[in-house]
């Protein structure tokens, strides 16, 4: 499961579609409707919010907005609450790690998309702050 911290406009088609699918699974987990993935580290940051379900819904709606701009139609009726004003902090270290991860994936599966990846921007619900890779991140850390 990868709930990207990167702006949906920068995600290639595969990352956007997979993010939608995985975000819907995360919503189900946060609602207590599944026994799997309950301890998944990607969910830790949403659990810090007063209403984690509203947080993942806000994340999902921004993904759907990015899909709409490209002519894709994600079924927003699957998101259980409207987008809210939920905000989370995102460290520049975490953004850099995800940026490198996305660039690596795109290099392999959609090299033409790589030219769009000139500068990382955070997903609209994140406020960028200085700091290291998040404690919950399980992806390998880049060499210092």
Q: What is the pLDDT of residues 16-58, one digit of tens each?
A: 999 999 999 999 999 999 887 888 888 999 999 999 999 999 9
**Full DSSP string of 56-123:** HHHHHHHHHHHHHHTT----GGGSSS------EEEEHHHHHHHHHHHHHHHHHH-GGGGGG-SS--B-
Q: What is the pLDDT of residues 92-133, one digit of tens each?
A: 999 999 999 999 999 999 999 999 999 999 999 999 999 999
- Give residue 115's pLDDT: 93
* Band of pLDDT at residue 79, cut at 50, 70 and 90: very high
Locate the domains of the chain by residue range.
8-129
Structure tokens given for 54:
């509203």
- Give residue 143's pLDDT: 59
């Amino acid at each position: 499961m990868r709930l990207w911290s990167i702006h949906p406009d920068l995600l290639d088609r595969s990352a956007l579609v997979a993010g939608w699918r995985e975000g819907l699974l995360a919503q189900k987990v946060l609602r207590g409707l599944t026994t799997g993935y309950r301890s998944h580290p990607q969910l830790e940051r949403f659990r810090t919010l007063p209403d984690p379900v509203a947080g993942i819904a806000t994340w999902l709606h921004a993904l759907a907005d990015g899909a709409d701009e490209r002519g894709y139609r994600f079924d927003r009726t699957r998101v259980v609450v409207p987008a809210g004003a939920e905000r989370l902090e995102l460290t520049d270290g975490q953004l850099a790690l995800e940026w490198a991860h996305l660039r690596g994936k795109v290099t392999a599966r959609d090299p033409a998309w790589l030219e769009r990846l000139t500068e990382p921007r955070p997903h609209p619900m994140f406020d960028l702050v200085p700091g290291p890779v998040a404690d919950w991140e399980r992806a390998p850390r880049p060499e210092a």
